[in-house]
Chains A and B, each alone.
Chain A
Amino acid sequence: MTARSVVKRFQPGMPALTSILLLVGALAGLYVADTQIQVFGFGNQWPDARTVPMAVLGLLAVAAALRLVLNLNSAEMPVGPARSQVRVAIVVLSSAAALWSMTYFGFLPGAVFVAFVSTLALGERRPVFVIGLPLVVAFAVYYGGRYGLNVPLP
Chain B
Amino acid sequence: MMQDIVLHAFAAAIQPMNLIFIAFGIFLGIVIGALPGLGSVTAMAVLIPLTFYMSPLTAIAFLVGVNKGGTSGGAVPAILLNSPGTPESAATAWDGYPMARRGEAFRALKFALFSSVTGDTISDLLLIVLVVPFAAFALQFGPVEYTAVLLFSFALIAGIAGDSPLKSGMAIFIGIFLATIGLDPVSSTPRFTFGRIELYDGLSLAALAIGALALSSVVMQISDLATKRVVDDFAANQAVDKRDRKLPAREFFSYWRTLTRGALIGSLVGMLPGLGVTLASFMSYAAAKRSSKNRDTFGQGEPEGIIATESANSAVVGSNLIPTIALGIPGNIAAALLIGALMMHGVVPGPFMLQMHGELIYGLFASMIVANLLHLLIGRAGLSLWIQFARVPRRIILPLVLMLCIFGIYLPSQSLWDVGVMLAFAGMGILFTRVGISVVCTVIGFLLGEMFETSLRQSLLLYQVDGLSILASPVAGIFLLLTIMIVARAIWRGSRKKASTA
- Residues in A lying within 8 Å of B, measured CB to CB: 14-15, 18, 22, 29, 32-33, 36-40, 46-49, 51-53, 56-57, 59-60, 63-64, 66-67, 70, 77, 84-85, 87-88, 91-92, 95-96, 98-99, 102-103, 107, 111, 114-116, 118-119, 121-124, 129, 133-134, 137-138, 141, 145, 149, 151-154
Contact = CB atoms under 8 A, between A and B. Distances in A.
A154 B194 CA distance: 27
Given A84-B227, A141-B407, A118 B166 contact: no
Contacts of B180: 52-53, 56
B370 interface: no
A121 B431 CA distance: 21
Contacts of B396: 119, 124, 129, 133
Contact of A36 (B166, B191, B411): B191
B192 interface: yes
A149 B193 contact: no
B191 A53 contact: yes
11 contacts: A22-B174, A47-B460, A53-B192, A57-B177, A64-B170, A91-B219, A115-B400, A115-B403, A123-B395, A129-B396, A134-B400
Contact of B194 (A36, A49, A85): A36
B253 to A, nearest CB: 39
A44 B407 CA distance: 47
A1 B192 CA distance: 48
Interface of B: 46, 166-167, 169-170, 173-174, 176-177, 180, 184, 186-187, 189-194, 219, 222-223, 225-227, 393-396, 398-400, 402-404, 406-407, 410-411, 414, 416, 419-420, 423, 427, 431-432, 434-437, 453, 456-457, 460-461, 464, 498
Contacts of A37: 184, 189-192
A51 B180 CA distance: 10
Contacts of A102: 416, 419
Contacts, number: 170
B191 A67 contact: no
Contact of A118 (B174, B192, B402, B460): B402
The dominant DSSP class at the B interface is helix
Contacts of B406: 95, 98-99, 111, 114
B222 A114 contact: no
A66 to B, nearest CB: 7
Contacts of A111: 403, 406-407
A64 B399 CA distance: 35
A63 B189 CA distance: 28
A49 B187 contact: yes
A38 B437 CA distance: 32
A109 to B, nearest CB: 12
Q: B193, B396, B419: which has the most chain A beta carbons within 10 Å?
A: B396
Given A57-B177, A133-B396, A153 B410 contact: yes
B403 A137 contact: yes
A52 B449 CA distance: 10
Contacts of B191: 36-37, 49, 53
Given A92-B219, A107-B410, A118-B222, A60 B177 contact: yes
Contacts of A152: 414
Given A92-B427, A95-B423, 14 more contacts: A22-B174, A33-B192, A47-B461, A52-B457, A53-B180, A67-B167, A84-B227, A87-B222, A88-B227, A98-B406, A111-B403, A115-B399, A115-B402, A119-B396
